[in-house]
Chain A
Amino acid sequence: MSDGGDAMKNVIEVNGVSIRYITGDFKNIGLKEYVIRRLTGRYHVKEFWADKDITFSLDSGDMLSIIGSNGAGKSTLLKAVSGIMIPTEGSVTTNGKIAALLELTSGFDADLTVRENTYLRGAMLGYTREFMDEKYEDIIAFAELGEFQDHTFKQLSSGMKSRLAFSIACLVNPDILILDEVLSVGDGAFRKKSGNKMKEILASGVTGILVSHSIEQIRELSNKILWLDHGRQVTFTEDVQTCCDAYEEFMNTKKAPKSDEQIREMAEAFQRRKLEQKGKKHQQQVKQVEAYIREGNQPAVDAALAILRENRPDLLAENVTGNTKG
């Protein structure tokens, strides 16, 4: 725990953070072109703001989800929070030990064995040798790679690689946990296992930041939400459900809202759409029931009953058998 004492406020504080990439400078165009352009006065640097003026703060135990389409600046922002990148403008303050799990499988060495890679990665994540000696068996068991320990890394399938990466990374015991798309690795069975493991870690009271493309997961796990669009902060709110509704509408219309007002409107539009869809499905089913009953044979009646059971179980509660036999 930190030296704060009373309930931890502002474990993470991100204040007006902007991050700029520069394209078209000497690195892009090469030394020769750089000199030529400098001499002829045609040297221009293009700026690209991956994030522009992002502000939010998290208290201890908060779980923040960052949503936004590809290229919205989510991963760049995570790099700034985890301290890998220094923001061009603004500031990031964090209290506590940070574990950032970003793009897990990169950074392994293809020619080292699974065992060697495990130790190397553990070292990179800041574990001690004793800790790795103690946990090594667990890691391999969790990743289900027992028989591959002495294979080189390049012999593994991509699913195995991400399983190993996840298993090493989830040993962390941080105050702040940053997850970039790590809850969706491996096959179905492993995904379930890893999801549970993550929930276990999150339940231990860490402050978390999550980037995920699964809206379901976000609705389930987070209590705050940050929406980015082309590097711009659309909103930062605690109203996760409304925001997710609006975001699902956004994925349909591709028009980002400009104000809280519009977010609310979009959320309502989404609910309306959902209701409409439900209504449409309902009408279809009513028609189907009618058709089945008109046909009158036993399988058709069974199908009609199935639909009724789904939508109006109350109608079937009592004298059901009597009705159907008639």
Chain B
Amino acid sequence: MFERLKKNQFLFEELVKRDFKQKYKGTVLGMAWSVLAPLLNLLVMRLVFTQFFGRDMEHYTTYLFCGTLVWSYYRESTRGGMNALVSNANVFTKIKLPKYLFLLSKNVSALINFCLTLLVFFFFCILDHVTFTLKFLCLLYPIVCLVVMNIGIGLILSALYVFFRDTSYLYDIFLTLLNYLSAIFYQVDRYPAHIRRLFLMNPVYCNIKYFRIVVIDGSVPSLNYHLLCAGYAILLLMIGAWMYKKFNHKFLYYV
């Protein structure tokens, strides 16, 4: 396994480079968009929800940013991942190479974006007078979970997308739904306990919540959150890996 990774390292690096260049081709600002896009997005949401809907909780900007930070990483990485196989069809039908590399490389460029946004996020935390503690190191945990989960979902989606091109439209609708169910701009506190528990069925929400507990409440989340985040990640990764294993040699008939 390790040897195979090493063998493919060069290819992997070149693929990541290509995906990055593809992403910003023709733009004037290039990589600056990685920071600008989520920032402007945040400003719009902040404007809308404070001015029009009159939310006045403490640290609302940070609360909102926790949501958009996790959410945009999730969306970008899974939407990009969905294309991984189809857009590389003319390569893997001619050259024998491990197909999951295409997905991983797309995920890397999304991850780099996420890291840049994360820096901006910390900067905003300072502006919002959030106290930094050692507990912030806990944030590594949901990040790792997110990475694994996004890879898993990317595997599933890219495989499905080969067989059903409808997947793209369906997933867009699903994303809209999931966006509203992730409590990005509202609070779930006003719902009764059994409804609040339903929110935990949403893996993205679990990770957002984890972020908020650490950053805003300044405490370490309970064991349940740890189990949930890791559980979702591992489950989805396993489903994705199983699909790639099962359909590895079928993809080429359908692209």
Question: Which residue numbers of A lie inside 8 Å of B, CB to CB?
Answer: 21-22, 26-27, 30-31, 79, 82-86, 98, 100, 102-103, 106-107, 109, 111-112, 116, 119-120, 123-129, 132
A168 to B25 alpha-carbon distance, docked (Å): 25
Q: Check if A27 sits within 8 Å of B254, measured CB to CB.
A: yes
Question: Which residue numbers of B lie inside 8 Å of A, CB to CB?
Answer: 7, 10-11, 13-15, 17-18, 21-22, 25, 90-97, 163-164, 166, 249, 252-254
A241 to B252 alpha-carbon distance, docked (Å): 36
Contact of A106 among B14, B25, B90, B253 (CB under 8 A): B90
A147 to B6 alpha-carbon distance, docked (Å): 34
A26 to B253 alpha-carbon distance, docked (Å): 12
A127-B10 contact given A27-B254, A31-B166, A85-B249, CB 8 Å threshold: yes
A125 to B93 alpha-carbon distance, docked (Å): 13
Q: Which 7 A-B pairs have the closest CB atoms?
A: A123-B11, A86-B249, A107-B91, A123-B14, A106-B90, A120-B14, A129-B10
Q: A26 to chain B: which residues have CB within 8 Å?
A: 163-164
Contact of A124 among B17, B93, B95 (CB under 8 A): B95
Q: Check if A21 sits within 8 Å of B253, measured CB to CB.
A: yes
Q: Check if A106 sits within 8 Å of B94, measured CB to CB.
A: yes
Q: Check if B95 sits within 8 Å of A107, measured CB to CB.
A: yes
Our count of residue pairs bridging A and B at CB distance below 8 angstroms stands at 71
Given contacts A84-B252, A112-B21, 13 further A-B contacts (CB under 8 A): A27-B163, A31-B166, A79-B93, A84-B94, A85-B249, A100-B96, A106-B91, A107-B91, A111-B21, A119-B14, A124-B91, A127-B10, A129-B13
> Nearest B residue to A30 by beta-carbon distance?
B166
Q: Check if B15 sits within 8 Å of A120, measured CB to CB.
A: yes
Q: A106 to chain B: which residues have CB within 8 Å?
A: 90-91, 94
A125 to B14 alpha-carbon distance, docked (Å): 12
Q: Check if A125 sits within 8 Å of B17, measured CB to CB.
A: no
Contact of B18 among A85, A116, A125 (CB under 8 A): A116
Q: B253 to chain A: which residues have CB within 8 Å?
A: 21-22
Q: What distance in Å separates the Cβ of B109 from its nearest Cβ neighbour in chain A?
A: 14
Main secondary structure of the interface of B (DSSP, over half): helix
Q: Check if A84 sits within 8 Å of B22, measured CB to CB.
A: no
Q: B93 to chain A: which residues have CB within 8 Å?
A: 79, 84
Q: List 14 A-B contacts (CB under 8 A).
A: A27-B164, A31-B164, A85-B252, A98-B96, A107-B91, A109-B18, A111-B22, A116-B17, A119-B14, A123-B14, A124-B11, A124-B91, A125-B95, A129-B10
Q: What distance in Å separates the Cβ of A166 from its nearest Cβ neighbour in chain B?
A: 14
> Nearest A residue to B19 by beta-carbon distance?
A109
> Nearest B residue to A28 by beta-carbon distance?
B254
Contact of A103 among B18, B94, B97, B163 (CB under 8 A): B94
Q: What distance in Å separates the Cβ of A266 from its nearest Cβ neighbour in chain B?
A: 34
> Nearest A residue to B7 by beta-carbon distance?
A126
A128 to B13 alpha-carbon distance, docked (Å): 11
Contact of A84 among B7, B15, B90, B95 (CB under 8 A): B95
A114 to B7 alpha-carbon distance, docked (Å): 24
Q: B21 to chain A: which residues have CB within 8 Å?
A: 111-112, 116
> Nearest A residue to B249 by beta-carbon distance?
A86
Q: A102 to chain B: which residues have CB within 8 Å?
A: 94-95
Q: B22 to chain A: which residues have CB within 8 Å?
A: 109, 111
Q: A21 to chain B: which residues have CB within 8 Å?
A: 253
Q: Check if A84 sits within 8 Å of B166, measured CB to CB.
A: no
A191 to B112 alpha-carbon distance, docked (Å): 44
Q: What distance in Å separates the Cβ of B230 from its nearest Cβ neighbour in chain A?
A: 33
A202 to B235 alpha-carbon distance, docked (Å): 49
Q: Check if A120 sits within 8 Å of B95, measured CB to CB.
A: no
Q: What distance in Å separates the Cβ of A33 from its nearest Cβ neighbour in chain B?
A: 11
Q: A125 to chain B: which residues have CB within 8 Å?
A: 95
A106 to B88 alpha-carbon distance, docked (Å): 10
> Nearest A residue to B17 by beta-carbon distance?
A116
